[in-house]
Amino acid sequence: MSSPTSHTADLVVFGGTGDLSMRKLLPALFHSDLEGRLAPETRIVAMSRGGLTDADFRGKVDAEVRAAVPDDGVAWQRFLGRLHHVSVDVGGEDKSGWSTVVRMLAGHEDRDRVFYLASPPMTFGPFCRELQEAGLVTPRSRVVLEKPLGRDLVSAQRINDEVGEIFDERQIFRIDHYLGKETVQNLLVLRFANAFLEPIWNSLWIDHVQITAAETVGTPGRRGYYDHAGALRDMVQNHLLQLLTLVAMEPPARNDRESIRDEKVKVLQSLRPIVGSEVDRFTVRGQYTGEGDMPSYLDEPASTPTTEASRRVETFTAIRAEVKNWRWAGVPFYLRTGKRMPYRRSEIVIQFKDVPHSIFPGGTPNRLVLRLQPEEGIELHIMAKEPGAGETMLKPVPLSLSFGKTFTARVPEAYERLLTDVLAGNPTLFMRRDEVEAAWRWIDPILAAWESSAELPEPYPAGTTGPAGAHELLGRSGRAWHEEEA
């Protein structure tokens, strides 16, 4: 089902010629255009230091993006016609670029103005200040902030304060692209539009939850960013904790902009802090070593030299988290993410408890698997009898919903959904300030303990499922990670 066409907007993308823009934002905007969700007059203005003309920028997009989208000559030419480029030196002395933006937007104050900051977080505050000094912030303006939002609680608060001086909270859209994924939204529908799950969605029935985001890619060319991020900041503080909140939240009163986010914040605030010596017990960090033709993290091609930070950074982490409330008391939430794992797979596994009394040999507890990628779908593993006249033999079999096979419509990319929501002014799938800060509040003590530890991350060979410690984390309570053939 396609959403209605949005208001006419000027979408200004700061970092508009960068990797995110080329790989995600522009293809998503093209799909929106193709499906009639962009108003005819909507313009897309890329801002960078690049010194490109509109024609240069259109040529670049034609060369780099066209192959990634459906080939439709007319629609593509119309899309290219929406694109503009302005060179602006944010934080620099030369303000002439801003005058060009002012001229370009003048007379269009009645349009929605969306400033998308696809740039490092330290630029968010200066960018917003310069926007305001240039007189570009109108009541119809919104600002979109890409993750990572800071590198700890203090820096996140500073960014939120700086941006908050210029924009109201209702105008700030903090993006976490995991929230735009179909299965993630489906999790809410599954939980709150079906009667049978809610009564068993608690510690009486659920043994534990696993949330995994495994990637096969390493970090070639990303050392500069990754050395100072690591898996905890890059994936857990945002994507994995967001998934955890959706699994653990109470039913919201309404599907509106604040009700869902109110419930998510309560989950983050209920996370039991992991502090001091507990960090060693409940968290694991690893770094991949070379294997076959896959280089080690330290040997990945990089534009910055290997430093002490490179040796200390985690490319894998696993954490045993707990949500301290009535519903989830005693149910561990295991979070795991890593680069250079044997498969690319993001999934949530709800592991139910065993039957109270088994009359058949060989049964295993039920399991619900929500697969975000590669193939989006939901599987409920139930026990069934293997056909045969002999002794009753049990076998776990999946009741399975594949979105690809069940729904013929194209599954939109996460950014497509989120950009559509930004243009429609709907912030439900975006992180509110208190959410981001509550997540950092829980992450900070783990970071502090790792940073003060003399130990380096545990090595794991590239192409494997992480260091031994990750398996021990579950193994010591008799549990195991949900692994399947890739």
**Positions in the binding site for ligand BG6 (CB under 6 A):** 213, 215, 234, 346
Tell me the closest approach of the beta carbon of residue 337 to ligand BG6, in angstroms: 9
Minimum Å gap between C-beta 215 and ligand BG6 is: 6
Backbone φ and ψ of 98, nearest 5°: -60, -35
DSSP category for residue 2:
P
CB of 222 to ligand BG6, least distance (A): 7
CA–CA distance, 486 with 483 (Å, rounded to integer): 8
From the candidates 31, 84, 208, 239, give the one annotated as an active-site residue: 239
Residue with the shortest CB distance to ligand BG6: 234
**Which CB atom, from 24 or from 84, has the smaller least distance to ligand BG6?**
24
For residue 248, give every residue at least 6 positions away whose Cβ sits within 8 Å of its Cβ, in sequence order, or none: 209, 267, 270, 323, 327, 328, 333
Residue list, annotated binding site for NADP(+): 49, 89-90, 147
Indicate the residue among 6 and 346 with the shorter CB distance to ligand BG6: 346
DSSP state of 355: P
Q: What is the rounded CA–CA span in Å between residue 432 and residue 145?
A: 11
**Residue 149 Cβ, how far from ligand BG6 at the closest point, in Å?**
12
Closest approach of Cβ 206 to ligand BG6, in Å? 25
Q: Least distance (Å) from ligand BG6 to the CB of residue 219? A: 8
Closest CA to 22 of 81, 51, 53, 63: 63
- Are the CB atoms for 323 and 196 separated by under 8 Å? no
- Give the Cβ contact number of residue 49 at 10 Å: 13
Nearest distance from C-beta of residue 296 to ligand BG6, angstroms: 18
Q: What angle do CA 230, 422, 46 make, to 5 degrees?
A: 75
Task: Find all residues with CB under 8 Å of 371, minimum gap 6, and list them.
Answer: 183, 345, 346, 347, 377, 378, 379
Q: What is the CA radius of gyration of the chain?
A: 24
Known catalytic membership, residue 239: yes
* Separation between Cα atoms, residue 218 and residue 72, nearest integer Å: 34
Nearer to ligand BG6, 22 or 83 (CB): 22
Residue nearer to ligand BG6 on the CB measure, 206 or 422: 422
Helix or strand (DSSP H, E) at 337: strand 332-338
CB nearer to ligand BG6: give 33 or 146.
146
Q: How far apart are CA 163 and CA 132, in angstroms?
A: 11
- Binding-site annotation: residue ranges: 49, 89-90, 147, 177, 181, 215, 234, 339
Residue 431 per-residue DSSP state: B
Residue ranges for the known binding site for substrate are 177, 181, 215, 234, 339
The DSSP call for residue 152 is S
- Between 141 and 183, whose beta carbon lies closer to ligand BG6? 183
Residue number, 48 or 346, with CB nearest to ligand BG6: 346
Distances (CA, A) of 48 to 44, 86, 122, 184: 13, 7, 16, 33
If phi over 0 gives left and psi between -120 and 50 gives alpha, with beta otherwise, what is residue 46? beta
Q: What residues are labeled active site?
A: 239
